[in-house]
Amino acid sequence: MEIQNLKEFLDQKAAQYNRPEFIAGDPISIPHRFQKLQDREIAGFFTAILSWGNRTTIIRNALQLMEWMDQSPHEFVLGYKEKDLKRFLGFRHRTFNPTDLLYCISFFREYYTHFLSLETAFSAPIREGDQTVENGLNGFRRMFFSGDFPERTQKHVSSPEKGSSCKRLNMFLRWMVRRDDRGVDFGIWHSISPAQLVCPVDVHVARVARKLRLMDCSSVNWDCALTLTDNLRKFDPKDPVKYDFGLFGLGVIEKYG
Q: Give pTM, 2 decimals.
A: 0.97
Q: Which tens digit of pLDDT belongs to each residue from 10-49?
A: 999 999 999 999 999 999 999 999 999 999 999 999 999 9
The proportion of the chain whose per-residue pLDDT surpasses 70, expressed as a percent, equals: 100
Summarised one tens digit per residue, pLDDT across range 149-168 is 999 999 999 999 999 999 99
Q: In whole angstroms, give the CA distance from residue 224 to residue 201.
A: 8
pLDDT of residue 41: 98
Question: Which amino acid makes up residue 106?
Answer: S
Q: In the predicted model, is pLDDT for residue 257 greater than 90? A: no
Residue 3's pLDDT band, with cuts at 50, 70 and 90, is confident
- Cα–Cα distance, 134 to 236 (Å, whole number): 19
In a 13 Å sphere around the CA of 5, the CA atoms on its Cβ side amount to: 3
Could you read off the pLDDT of 60-110 as tens digits, one per residue?
999 999 999 999 999 999 999 999 999 999 999 999 999 999 999 999 999
Residue of 192, 58, 35 lying closest to 125 (CA atoms): 192
Span 156-204, pLDDT tens digits:
999 999 999 999 999 999 999 999 999 999 999 999 999 999 999 999 9
pLDDT for position 4: 82
187: left (phi over 0), alpha (psi -120 to 50) or beta: left
Residue 22 carries which DSSP code? G
C-beta of residue 80 within 8 angstroms of C-beta of residue 113: no
